[in-house]
Amino acid sequence: MSVQQKVAVVTPGVFVIPSGRSSSVERVIEKTMSLVPEGLDVRVFGRSAGHLPAKDFLGSVPCYRIPGGSAYLSGILRHLKNWMPDTADVHNRPALAYGLKRHLPQIRVFLTLHSTTFISPCCLPQSKAEVMLSSVDGLIVNSAYLRDDVLRRFPKLRTPIYVNPLGVSLEDFTPRWTPAGEAVRRARLADYGWRNRKIILFVGRLIHGKGVHRLLEALPGIVSKEKDALAVIVGSAFYGVNRDTAYVRSLRKLAGQMEHHTAFLPFVPYPQVADLYNLADVVLVPSLEDEAFGLVNLEAMASAVPVVASAVGGIPEIIQHEQTGLLLPKGSGNEMLESAVLRILEDSQLQRSLGLAGRELARSTFRWQHCAERWTNLMSMEQPLAVQRWSV
């Protein structure tokens, strides 16, 4: 690997980076770029904010902040024309990747897709999306599910596709099943007034597709058998903004019927949200729609907390059924969700074995170091293979 290899990492330009109030896309960049080994000259480009300097650092990696909106592409181009990287990795914005490749055809351009949102008809016509995907030198996705979904949507696509699963920072999470972890947990539960409660934790956006209402609908049945059960719902409808929507109001109405058994906590920025996983007896991921990956699953595993999750999208690539958690078949009803949650709440030995197995799987397979190493190897390749559809 040449020490002269230059790589530009381009964020979507929606949230400031680094920032605890950003989306998971920016978190992936923050976590991986600070772990890139020496040998790559990496620069990160993100959106500017008046209260933050134009240049910052992610570890030792410089981060340049550029005005967002319609001026974002032109601002990125000014920087890249002066610096002339060998490669650019654009996150989650096919139009931005296409624009960079069109203006700088001599550099390799990768598009890292975190979901199919921005190549879906709601954002781009099929024909236009295919042109953009075909223009770049490679696609990077976070799960085999997402790779297969891209190929299903664009069967004629010949752009190389590489799978690079996401990771987790074990040091950010306090595992339950240690004397120190249990002491911290008891103290935090007391602070919240939740001593002796059995915590069912949901962390994520409060939107219909995340299935939060399923937890509240199943809660009466859960409480009928576990009177100390408490559903703790952490998040908001929008990243970093605690603003009500019709769906959020419907959740609060549902919760009103079980007021003593529900608690809503507003959006908590990362890494502070890591402290909440330690409180949980079980983490619930009841998604109705396919999720490309789902960092919540990894964060729960890092905390040695078992997960009950819908077997949709890329989630089965993370959660091992009956080993690190329980998977709910796609389309299954709330009765199965209730049964799975109760099975874990009623069996402390099962909680422990699933939780510890999840922590070990996160340690051995799903760390940000692993993700950064795979990314570094990909950026260091002389040329992508002609048709590549395997995991890097």
Q: If you write DSSP's letter for every residue of 94-141 in order, what string do you get?
A: HHHHHHHHHH-TTSEEEEEESSSGGGSTTTS-HHHHHHHHHHSSEEEE
- 140 vs 287: CA distance, rounded Å: 24
- pLDDT for the residue numbered 238: 79
Residues 374 and 319 in one domain: no
Residues 161 and 275 in one domain: no
Is the residue at 196 inside a domain? yes
Is the residue at 94 inside a domain? yes
Is the residue at 387 inside a domain? no
Identity (one letter) of the amino acid at 320? Q
Residues 186 and 257 in one domain: yes
Residues 10 and 107 in one domain: yes
Residues 17 and 122 in one domain: yes
The string of pLDDT tens digits covering residues 298-339 is: 999 999 999 999 999 999 999 999 999 999 999 999 999 999
Is the residue at 388 inside a domain? no
Residues 177 and 79 in one domain: no
Is the residue at 316 inside a domain? yes
Classify strands 229-234 and 262-265 as parallel, antiparallel or unpaired. Answer: parallel
- What mean pLDDT do residues 328-354 have? 96
What tokens does 162 get? 């590489």
Residues 95 and 154 in one domain: yes
Is the residue at 389 inside a domain? no
Rounded to a whole number of angstroms, the CA Rg of the chain reads: 22
Chain mean pLDDT for the chain: 92
Q: Which residue has the higher pLDDT, 50 or 75?
A: 75
Q: Which residue has the higher pLDDT, 392 or 362?
A: 362
Q: What is the CATH number of the domain that holds 133?
A: 3.40.50.2000
The string of pLDDT tens digits covering residues 71-119 is: 999 999 999 999 999 999 999 999 999 999 999 999 999 999 999 999 9
Name the band, by pLDDT with cuts 50, 70 and 90, for residue 1.
very low
Residues 157 and 200 in one domain: no
Residues in the chain: 392
* Distance (Å) of CA 109 to CA 91, 242, 253, 268, 383: 11, 36, 48, 34, 11
The Cβ-side half-sphere exposure at 187, using a 13 Å CA radius, reads 7
CA angle 367, 371, 374 (to 5 degrees): 140
- What mean pLDDT do residues 213-223 have? 97
Is the residue at 392 inside a domain? no
Q: Is the pTM of this model over 0.85?
A: yes
268 burial (CB, 10 Å; 0-12 / 13-18 / 19+) is middle
Residue 374 domain boundaries = 5-167+368-380
* Distance (Å) of CA 295 to CA 120, 125, 228, 315: 22, 29, 28, 9
Q: Quick check: 387 pLDDT over 90?
A: no
- What mean pLDDT do residues 177-191 have? 93
Report the number of distinct structural domains present in the chain: 2
Residues 26 and 45 in one domain: yes
Residues 187 and 94 in one domain: no
- pLDDT for the residue numbered 138: 97
Residues 205 and 350 in one domain: yes
Residues 213 and 116 in one domain: no
